[in-house]
Chain A
Amino acid sequence: MPKVKEIEILIIGGGPAGLSAANAAAELGASVLVLERDGKPGGQLVKQTHKFFGSKKQYAGDRGYQIGHLLIDQCEKNPKVEVWTDATALGIYEDGVVTAERQGKHLKIKPKKIVVATGASEKMIAFPNNDMPGIFGAGAVQTLMNVHGIVPGQRVLMIGAGNIGLIVSYQLMQAGVEVAGIIEASPTIGGYLVHASKIRRAGVPILTSHTILEAYGQESVEGAIICQLDEQWQPIPGSEQDLKVDVICLAVGLSPLTELCFQADCQMKYVPELSGHVPIRNDYLETTRPGLYVAGDVSGVEEASSAMVEGRLAGVSAAYSLEYGNDAAPKLQAEAMAELSELRSGPAGQKTLKGIMKLTDKGEAAC
């Protein structure tokens, strides 16, 4: 292998956004390399056993892992796409060189364009004994169950009633694990109500305005003390409940994985509606560093459906900037942008829209 691998478009991250970007760019004729940190591409899609929402254009009605397989298949069939698994991007440098680690080797890549699609990482909350064995992030529970076929325990307390908390609770029940309850500090359920109703009618209580006070146990989790919160989000004395559980699963939100964007000197901004620091970018998802695009959760935490559309948009835009698809690209860009506005136009998308407005508001200071 030459000392420096040259490629037209480098995509960092092989999840829904990255794979969609790779396929879209390669379709227009660009040569693409995807770096995937995991042993297999697909990202979170491969763990999603539920049917996706959205429309046909985002594979609605198909289950997440089926969509994952479809995207992986498309990449494998396209000779313009190369995927390196077990490869972690380390840095994006001023001279345009990207470094990566693979199988103990330090690699250098010189792309013409870059799409960062690194996704997001799970948040943690503070409570006594939150480092005890038996306390999992929801992503870990999904990996354990849906990738390795191992259940995390027998009785679970789920913390967080966003879509991830609701979906993972459902998956636990499908695997034969009892869910003692789902608690949520907010006064309302954050995830889709059809997911909530599905779990509720199977007998699992969803307690809004509730939080965990502490976990307890000798060597691993044996139970949790939960309590109700008042309108000021303060614990209501006397409302404590003791739940005997051997697993506490945290589904308390995600943060965009933006280290590479910071390091590449993209202009960043803290936007709570997008779940943290995100790179400032234009409508075509190009950041303030020319030739560096972002797509998916790294550009603001959202659903996988919109991550796939963003990936497509970034992939097309990167290829178009290299003069591929001069006829087709503008139409594909317009289609992707229309799909994104459609997905975000309802009440569920208002938060994201507000966040994006803040991002493109040039008047405000950024860091």
Chain B
Amino acid sequence: MLNKTGIPTAEDIKTVSPSEERLKKGPVAIIECFQKIPCNPCTEACKQGAIQPMKDINDLPKLEFDRCNGCGVCLSRCPGLAIFIVDASYSDTEAIVRIPFEYFPVPQVGEKVIGLNRSGEELGTFEVSKVQSGGQKNKTYTVWLVVPQELAMDVRSIRLGGVRHAN
């Protein structure tokens, strides 16, 4: 249960997943936001009109998958870091997963990192294909990972190998 462990269940994920067909068409946002909290920056971030304006600020975000072009602006704006972009059109065997990232060190393009699922379990070693800076004000990085097609809806984090500042 999400509210006991922090891990969204398979059923939770199903409610925010596009169809296989849509996934194959190209990049699309997956908004893993399952709790009604007063928050709406994603609706204002979306310039495609894909994330519907909310009647009540506590509503869950609603994404029209067919209007989403996977631009990733919502990913970098979501205060909850709960939005990912999945591109299953990358190749026959591989997909791109873009994840929001706010730790140090920031992975470099070409680097191999350990990908984790929603429980923090290791899923394998994947290559970083692109890193986007959120800019001076936003600061959230977007890290692009090349993952096997079958893991595109599972890889959601990176094992932290950060510098330890404590002695």
Contact = CB atoms under 8 A, between A and B. Distances in A.
B35 interface: yes
Contact of B36 (A55, A177, A305, A348): A348
B14 interface: no
A153 to B, nearest CB: 6
A165 B82 CA distance: 18
A54 interface: yes
A343 B57 contact: yes
A83 interface: no
B125 interface: no
Interface in A24-59: 50-56
Q: Is the interface of B mostly helix, strand, loop or mixed?
A: loop
Interface size grouping (class) on chain B:
35 or more
Nearest to A206: B6
Interface in A175-200: 175-178, 187-189, 192-200
Contacts of B4: 187-189, 208
B67 interface: no
A52 B41 CA distance: 10
Contacts of A208: 4-5
A312 to B, nearest CB: 16
B34 interface: yes
Interface size grouping (class) on chain A:
35 or more
Contact of A60 (B40, B138, B139): B40
A345 B56 contact: yes
B165 A342 contact: no
A192 B120 contact: no
A151 interface: yes
B58 A189 contact: no
B104 A198 contact: no
Interface of A: 50-56, 60-63, 66, 151, 153-154, 173-178, 187-189, 192-204, 206, 208, 305, 342-349
Interface of B: 2-8, 32-41, 44, 56-58, 77-82, 102-104, 116-120, 137-140, 156-157, 159-160, 162-167
